Amino acid sequence: MKIWFPTPMHSRPTALPRPSVLRALPAMMLREMATTYGRSPGGYLWAVVEPVAAIALLSFVFSMAFDAPSLGNSFALFYATGYLPFMLFHDTTNKIGAALRFSRPLLAYPAVSMVDAVLARWLLNTATHVIVGLIVFAGIEAVIDTSALYRPGPILAAYAMAAALALGVGTLNCWLFMRFPVWERIWQIATRPLFIVSGIFFLFEDLPADLRDIAWFNPLLHITSDMRRGVFASYDAAFVSEGFVYGTALVCFVTGLGLLRLAGKDLVYG
């Protein structure tokens, strides 16, 4: 005869992440590293060379036209504080948008989900851009006496907002790229002006009042300004709203995730 003893409510085991996630994410990130950086000569070196070359070119061109940047005494540092978080968003968004097409063969396995494909690209590219940013800032400080005061709080906040926005917009684009293939080309064209209007070359406070009312709704401008607040002690960036950036990211992420759950498999295997 078997005797059953009821288990107290407090002793019930808590839900743990499914083991496949713990195996799938690292495996997919390693695959991303091998395919993205392992097949080209130099590998990860190009991830550092590209922003360094872009910042050096911007610094040279604008130093010929202006005596000093809008903040500080270093053109390289001023443009780095805008370029680095912008590229985290731009590059990561594009990589996430193509995640399902890139991982299509792996999605046939039950252990791999569409969310795994999105998160793998997001985690790898975010970590890569953060590390590249640290290397670039360290290199600038080693070469130029910028007298900058680095504050980890606002810098980390800027990177966190850029990563969150990239995840949200990238997840939405992941569905749009699959559902409307022409959208990928439209997106590439439509986002080119973002490089100009996202605060890489200017400060929000330097804009005319009527333009500031419009520019405020660009979440990337909040991100680049918060980065500068963490590097330049004299810059306040009082207009920055983390709630607006995270709210925009959340709306895009929830919408994109919902669309992927509803019709993502049909688009991948259709």
Q: For residue 67, what pLDDT is reported?
A: 76
The tokens for 260 are 């992927």
Whole-structure pTM value: 0.86
- Cβ–Cβ under 8 Å, residues 78 and 153: no
Q: What is the DSSP string of 87-110?
A: HHHHHHHHHHHTHHHHTTTGGGST
What torsion, rounded to 10 degrees, do the Cα atoms 217, 220, 221, 227 define? 140
- Cβ–Cβ under 8 Å, residues 93 and 80: no
Instruction: Give 174's contacts (C-beta < 8 A, 6+ positions apart).
Output: 96, 97, 98, 99, 100, 114, 118, 256, 260
Torsion sign, CA atoms 208, 213, 218, 219: positive
**Per-residue pLDDT tens for 114-146?**
888 899 999 999 999 999 999 999 999 998 888
Instruction: Give 267's contacts (C-beta < 8 A, 6+ positions apart).
Output: 100, 175, 178, 179
| DSSP state letter for 205 | G
In this structure, which long-range contacts are made by residues 258-263, counting pairs with CB atoms below 8 Å and at least 24 apart in sequence? 259/172, 259/175, 259/179, 260/100, 260/114, 260/115, 260/171, 260/174, 260/175, 263/175, 263/179
Mean pLDDT score, 38-45: 65
Q: For residue 7, what pLDDT is reported?
A: 44
Q: How many CB atoms lie within 10 A of CB 268?
A: 17
- Cβ–Cβ under 8 Å, residues 231 and 203: no
Least confident of 3-17, 28-42, 192-206: 3-17
Q: For residue 6, what pLDDT is reported?
A: 46
The tokens for 16 are 């743990």
Q: Say if residue 12's pLDDT is above 80.
A: no
Q: For residue 11, what pLDDT is reported?
A: 42
Q: Which amino acid is at 22?
A: L
Residue 44 is inside which H or E element, if any? none
